[in-house]
Amino acid sequence: MMILYSAPSSYYSMIGRLALKEAKVPFENQRMDIHLHKEQLAPWYVALNPHMSVPTLVDGKTILIDSQDILRLAANLAGNQWLDGNVNFAPQIESVVKAQYAIPIERLTFCKAMMHLPILRFIFPRTLRGIIKGLQARLPTAKDPAALQAKIDLNESRIAYFTQGASLQEKMAVERKRVSTYLNQLPNPSNFLFGDKPSSADIVTAVLFGRLKMIGEYSLVANDARGAALEQWFSRMQQQVAFQQADIWLRFQWWRILLRA
């Protein structure tokens, strides 16, 4: 049985969970606490995933350390149950997936969180500095110092983004624009985005819409005819068993983070 290491609140974990559920691939979900216990930084996990990020999928000797690879695997296993293999749609589906991965979701989420709760402007950089210190202390004895250094650099760049440059409002405006550009290239959905069968494009867009709902930015889904059709598409997606089982967050459930539930 495949094991998916995923965190309930994590966007890319949601892509992994929804992709596998929608493709009806059985897997065991191993819940990761990336906030309080920071299990993604534990040496046993670094050995699995040197990027120290979730999700990770372990299938025997094969280990996938990026949600994009898990999505691709799900599409392959779904075969002609999904539209990904259909030559008429494949290029458009690929282009939607690529566009979604170009959106810096973390920036969108954290900018909004800091605007909503100003104390987070201090808490986020402070937490990241603590993580960097911990990683630096491990550097001399680390099995894979390059991986640790890459994570330190990533966290440094997160701090820089949160603390330097334009105001949060201006940063948020940039991210909103990116989302609107993404929404504008989506097709007018029929049952699913590209027809009667799901595809990778439905997976990534459903998770993105869930995130927009969670952070109070769902109004970006334009209020024109196609926006209404997209809203109806998202309502249909939410009614699916796969969506419900994938634990896609539509509201921020802070108690689940605190209770590790």
Ligand X SMILES: N[C@@H](CCC(=O)N[C@@H](CS)C(=O)NCC(=O)O)C(=O)O
The position carrying tokens 């994009």 is 68
C-beta separation of 197 from 81 below 8 A: yes
Residue 119, burial from CB neighbour count under 10 angstroms (0-12, 13-18, 19+): exposed
The single residue among 12, 82, 192, 233 that binds ligand X, judged by CB under 6 A, is 12
Q: Starting at the earlier edge strand, list the strands of the sheet with 27-31.
A: 27-31, 2-6, 56-59, 62-64
CB of 106 to ligand X, least distance (A): 7
Chosen residue from 4, 19, 25, 34 binding ligand X by CB under 6 A: 34
Region 227-246 residues binding ligand X, contact defined as CB under 6 A: none
Q: Determine the 3-state secondary structure of 64 from DSSP.
A: strand
**Dist CA 81 CA 84 (whole Å):** 9
Residue number with the smallest Cβ distance to ligand X? 53
CB of 254 to ligand X, least distance (A): 16
* Size of residue set near ligand X by CB under 6 A: 12
CA distance 63 to 50: 11
Q: Which is nearer to ligand X, 11 or 234 (CB)?
A: 11
With binding defined as CB under 6 A, does residue 10 bind ligand X?
Answer: yes
20 binds ligand X (CB under 6 A): no
Residues 6+ apart with CB under 8 A from 122: none
Q: Is 200 in the site for ligand X (CB under 6 A)?
A: no
For residue 226, the minimal CB distance to ligand X (Å) is 27
Tokens of 105: 């979701």
Residues 51-80: x/- map of binding to ligand X (CB under 6 A)? Answer: -xxxx----------xxx------------
Residues that bind ligand X (CB under 6 A): 10-12, 34, 40, 52-55, 66-68
